Amino acid sequence: MPDYVPGLEGIVAAQTEISLVDGANGRLVYRGYVIADLAEEMSFEEVAHLFWFGHLPNRPELDGLAAELSGSRSLTQAAAAALDALPKDADPMDVLRSVVSVQGVRHRLEKPNVPAAIHVTASFPTVLAAFHRRRQGLDPVKPRPELGHAANYLYMLTGTEASPDLVRALNTYLVLLADHGMNASTFSARVTIATLSDMYSAITSAIGTLKGPLHGGANERVMETLLEIGEADRARDMINAKLKQHERVMGFGHRVYKTEDPRATILRRHSEALGRRTGQLKWYEISREVEKTMREDKPDLYPNVDFYSASVYHMMGIPIDQFTPIFAISRMAGWTAQLLEQYANNRLIRPESEYVGPPSLKYVPIDKR
Ligand code: SDX
């Protein structure tokens, strides 16, 4: 029996061609391309094509995928009814998990394949934007086929077309978070599809896993911390107080990166640029003060992808409880690509556990206990 490894730290659970997370050197590679070369050049559709079809698309291929995605944005009647039935104060991640699950009822017989991946990926922005409108007492905004994935989400959220700057910033974010090796939510998706269950069940597992604050939920907690701090000159004392209480400062640390998360490097730049452009530099300045304090007190902890994405989203006008759902919009490209990879060369994922309970006890009938 091999030794028990808490959290499966360092255990290789699959071989993948989708992404390489080089924790020692702080490098993230998508199918051979270094993320720094892609993030500010590509749209979500391009990175999804790279994952699903194995190569960067030419113009006709990209237009074809964009048309497929925009043609698959509507919800089934049952899913739309489920969305309307949910309480207005529900957590959008619970709404996403529930409505995607209902959306899947009609498709449970579909084999996991790229068309199914496109279909389920396309519906995420529709679910999230429609719920956000509903909870404001507004009617959902119909998707516009000519708008891309990022632009259409922002449009359905507000009813007005977002500026090209905003769309570019969201596309960069969606590319940066599209995949990340064997992270917890991808592992959930792989475990589920490895039983030969269906794609919607695997994606529902992944959404539930991403929600946790140790994983995708961290970005919302980061924004709450920045709001609590309020001014840059309060950051040091408040962070030191948290550390003294042995509290985790969300947005720092990573299971794999032992140096700066390359996505944080790009998002730090975007946070500063967006702060200057929107006159909200304070959120970047508070973030920088938090980072300086953490680097001094916890030199082994670096900002991860969730730290600077919080201020970027906030300055884009995204509601805090939509932060993690946007992470899910992006990671759908990686989740679906990786579960297709698992399905194509499958073996049931079933690790061992080491029994440490009592060796053997004698049964005592209930009237003698
Ligand atoms: C994501 O896996 C991925 O690839 C995920 C992700 C992706 O793209 O899919 O990159 C996205 O989930 C990023 C991580 C977002 N989560 C957070 O920001 C939450 C805060 N960070 C952590 O809780 C923690 O750093 C983890 C969960 C991310 C990683 O934790 P590990 O590898 O299990 O490390 P650990 O919990 O054992 O911590 C080691 C030490 C501990 O100190 P001791 O108890 O040994 O004294 O570091 C400390 C921890 O207390 N520590 C922190 C800390 N993170 C770790 N102390 C303060 N603040 C923190 N944020």
- 10-residue mean pLDDT profile of the chain (369 residues): values are 94 98 97 94 96 98 98 94 97 97 83 94 97 96 96 96 94 97 98 96 97 95 98 97 96 96 97 95 98 96 96 95 97 98 98 96 97
Is residue 318 within 8 A of residue 280, CB to CB? The reply is no
Site to probe by mutation for ligand 1, drawn from 11, 219, 255, 308 as the one with most ligand atoms within 8 Å of Cβ, is 255
**Predicted TM-score (pTM) of this structure:** 0.96
CATH number of this structure's domain 19-214+320-344: 1.10.580.10
Instruction: State the Cα–Cα distance between residues 17 and 84, nearest whole angstrom.
Output: 40
Residue 215 a catalytic site member: yes
Enumerate the domain spans of the chain. 19-214+320-344, 218-315
Q: Name which residue sits closest to atom 35 of ligand 1, judged by CA.
A: 255
Per-residue pLDDT at 2: 87
The set of long-range contacts for 345-352, using a CB threshold of 8 Å and a minimum separation of 24, is 346/193, 346/194, 346/196, 347/194, 348/194, 348/195, 349/13, 349/190, 349/191, 349/194, 351/8, 352/1, 352/2
Q: How far is the CA of 324 from the centre of ligand 1 (A)?
A: 17
DSSP of 303-327: B-HHHHHHHHHHHTT--GGGHHHHH
Ligand 1 centroid distance, CA of 268 (Å): 19
* CATH number attached to the domain at 218-315: 1.10.230.10
CB within 8 Å of 298: residues ≥ 6 apart:
243, 249, 252, 253
- Looking at residue 246, its pLDDT comes to 96
Question: What spacing in Å lies between the alpha carbon of 229 and ligand 1's midpoint?
Answer: 21
Residue 304's pLDDT is 96
Catalytic residue among 198, 261, 306, 321: 306
